[in-house]
Structure 1
Amino acid sequence: MSTVTASQETTNSLAIPTTMRAAVYRGINDVRVETVPVPEIGAGEILIKVAACGICGTDLKKIHSGSHSAPRIFGHETAGTIAAIGPGVHQFEVGERVMVFHHVPCGDCYYCRKKTFAQCPVYKPAGVTAGFEPSGGGFAEYVRVMDWIVRDGGVVRIPDGVPFDQAAFVEPVNTVLKGVKSLNPQPDETVLVIGQGPIGILWASLVLRTGANVLTSDLYPERHSIAAGFGLKHPIHAATENVAARAREATEGRGADAVVIAVGGNGLIRTAMEAVRPGGKVLLFAQTQHGEAIFDPAAVCMDEKFLLGSYSSSIDIEHEVEDLVFNGYRNGFDLTRLISHRFPLEQAVEAIQVASNPCASSMKIMIEHETSETGA
């Protein structure tokens, strides 16, 4: 296989070092900032110099649960600059600013035909790596983007004027918008979003754009203040109020037409089922760990309440998401307002600690390798 090495300096690459710094997962709750080789790329592949990478809840679950073998380098909300292109790559150039999806479906299999892209066998393996088993790699200075990701739409150009940290939201916004479309809220309906961290606020603000009435629930008043900046004006203070009772009060006693659980853990499933009206929908968005959960089966059978799930992104809505994130930055949908902490890569362990212990003052945690400039 033809490769572009880390030390090669030709027209298809910038000056690239042979080694880099990365936050390496070595086992349960064990992440270390180490020096590792810069990955080499082959035909059809590109190398990205990472500028910004958000810490996602799924990264944290993998780190804390030991669900994945070690060593690995996580991080998949990645934006940066193309540092090298492999043989056969003609649609991108060195120096372009891009974000990258670490999963892309085949588009042809049974699951793709049914628009269930996250279940596609080609989608499941990660196609972006900073070394070791491919796992996203954004918690490193450089990532290698494999050929099928490059070929099938997984690399997205960032327009001039849009900073890297805004562009890093493209992947999470896609996952949320996919869920919103699955929920299909109507203008005469009321939707309760449980959890007002960065994902919960994304959920609530995108549901609000459908014309539905939106209730938001969170333990922290400070998060409701941030949500208000996105037009969300019906908070429920979960630390002092009964969430299900408040949902019924807001809907003439019926309960919300739909409830979204945008925070991890299974304990809120019962609350959501109590808060939703008969015939309404409960959507699980952050319940990504297998195990048992408790809910009332008669609520599904006799009350005809629907229990739904939505996971990962959809390539079908990629252009709509790009418009939301890129044009939205210029038109009031500035997602960088959700960032509470920015850490350099050398402090990645501290960044993961902050993200793992959410509090009133923490929202989106971003690892940034250089200033999140907007481009010329």
Structure 2
Amino acid sequence: MMQAAVYRGVDDVRIEQVETPEIAAGEVLLRVEACGICGTDLKKIHTGSHSAPRVFGHETAGTVIAVGEGVTAFAPGDRAMVFHHIPCGHCYYCRKKTFAQCPVYKKVGVTAAYEPSGGGFAQYVRVMDWIVERGLVRVPDGIPFEQAAFIEPVNTCLKAIKNLALEADETVLVIGQGPIGIILAALAARTGAKVLTSDLYAERHAVAAGYGLSHPIDAAREDVVARAHAETEGRGVDAAIVAVAGDPLIKVAMNATRCGGRVLLFAQTQHGDAPIDPAAICMDEKALIGSYSASVEIQDEGAALVFEGYRNGFDLTGLISHRFALADAVEAIDLASHPVADSMKIFILPQQQPGSEAGKR
């Protein structure tokens, strides 16, 4: 038996004992060393979008404990990070490189128990064969498991930045400086573009500054749209990214963007009826685009960025504000669900002893 944080219904997560998963041919059993809490995990817990029971958690890194028959690329003791979605590679959507819409991609290939749902909020996960083949990433010695667990979110952010096709003479506005907003802004800055960052909290701007982001906008006191125009000779930014799940911010992003510019929605993963000015898209020629989930096409590039970045100014463990043992996962989920100024990325460390929560940086 093993411990897991089991989703039992809307706003109902319980620490329970479940059977340690058994693996079959081609599969791997991974001991979870670190798992970040993602906003999509929280959305599922709070909206009841998925049936219960399940074990969520998909930003997962750990140690290979056992391998099934036929597995030759990994052995017990290897350190690895796992993607929970991997596309088939040959369907219509894969041919169009819209991998997140592939029917196989929509299947989850990592589980701790019950319906496969990532399973990282548990001591062990079973990694299914198609994920082992293309979605299990070896982690070099010297790279902390916490850093490796960022590979999946970094991939999603890198995909978004590539979709924007930023150029070095452009200015981009990133609305929201939580962990994802900071990663998006830092990756945007690597293109040579000037990056404006907007957030309500000075504490988050302070963290962002550690990643080279030097053009903060205090959204609690400043007019974000006015500042975006002031920074661009009155035109508006060339591109804006909405990294906060607040539909009213779509209008802010559209108004802050120049005619002919691009607005990318990253955090708007709930269907709804957000108001959009059609003339801004038609007459002002502003492009409204989206980016969702990871891309297998940039998997190696994203992993290398995380590994090399740990030693070269892109240490993502600096985004972690709180670490919790698995026994305290309910508290961790509650904190992540109600962020405050000094809470950033929340991690669950299943091998950590209860009561040893590390607190703030």
Please report the TM-score for the alignment, with normalisation by the length of structure 2. 0.97
Q: CA deviation at 1:265?
A: 2.4
Structure 2 counterpart of 1:128: 110
Whole-Å Cα distance in 1 between the matches of residues 118 and 247 of structure 2?
26
**Aligned counterpart in structure 2 of residue 342 of structure 1, from 306, 313, 323:** 323
How far is 1:37 from its partner? 0.4
Matched residue type, 2:45: I
1:8-87 to 2 correspondences below 5 Å: 19-87=1-69
2:252 alignment partner AA:
T
* Aligned counterparts of 2:137 and 2:220: Cα–Cα separation in 1: 41
2:319 matched to 1:319?
A: no
| Number of the residue aligned with 2:232 | 251
Aligned CA-pair RMSD: 0.7
1:273 aligns with 2:229: no
1:330 to 311, 319, 324: 311
Answering whether residue 94 of structure 2 is matched by residue 137 of structure 1, we say no
Give the Cα–Cα distance (whole angstroms) in 2 for the partners of residues 292 and 187 of structure 1. 35
Would you say 1:308 and 2:300 are equivalent positions? Answer: no
- Superposition deviation, residue 369 in structure 1: 2.0
Hey, what does 1:374 align to over in structure 2? none
1:106 aligns with 2:91: no
| Residue number among 53, 65, 77 corresponding to 1:95 in the alignment | 77
The counterpart of 1:175, out of the listed 156, 168, 171, is 156
Does the alignment pair 1:356 with 2:337?
yes
Q: After TM superposition, what 4+ stretches of structure 1 lie above 6 angstroms from structure 2?
A: none
Distance in 2, matches of 1:34 and 1:247, equals 49
SS in 2 for 1:41: coil
TM-score (norm 1): 0.93
Aligned partner letter, 2:68: G
Deviation, structure 1 residue 125: 0.8
AA partner of residue 34 (structure 2):
A
Can you list the C-alpha shifts for 1:104-142, whole angstroms capped at 9, x where unaligned? 011111111111000011100110000111000000000
Secondary structure of 1:258's counterpart equals: strand
Q: Distance in 1 between matches of 2:229 and 2:126?
A: 50
- What CA distance in whole angstroms lies between the structure 1 residues aligned with 2:79 and 2:185? 29
The partner residue of 1:240 within 198, 208, 221 is: 221
Question: In 2, distance between residues paired with 1:298 and 1:254?
Answer: 17
**Runs (5+) with no aligned partner, structure 1:** 1-18, 372-376
| Superposed displacement of residue 352, structure 1 | 0.3
The aligned amino acid for 1:333 is F
Distance 1:370 1:338 in 2: 21
Q: Percent identity?
A: 70
Once the two structures are superposed, residues 156-212 of structure 1 have per-residue CA deviations (whole angstroms, 9 ceiling, x without a partner) of 010010000000000000000000000011000000000000000000000000000
- Tell me the alpha carbon deviations over residues 272-313 of structure 1, each in whole angstroms, 9 at most, x when there is no partner: 111110110000001011111012111111111100000000
Q: Give the Cα–Cα distance (whole angstroms) in 2 for the partners of residues 357 and 295 of structure 1.
A: 28
Say if 2:87 and 2:102, in contact at 8 Å, map to a contact too.
yes
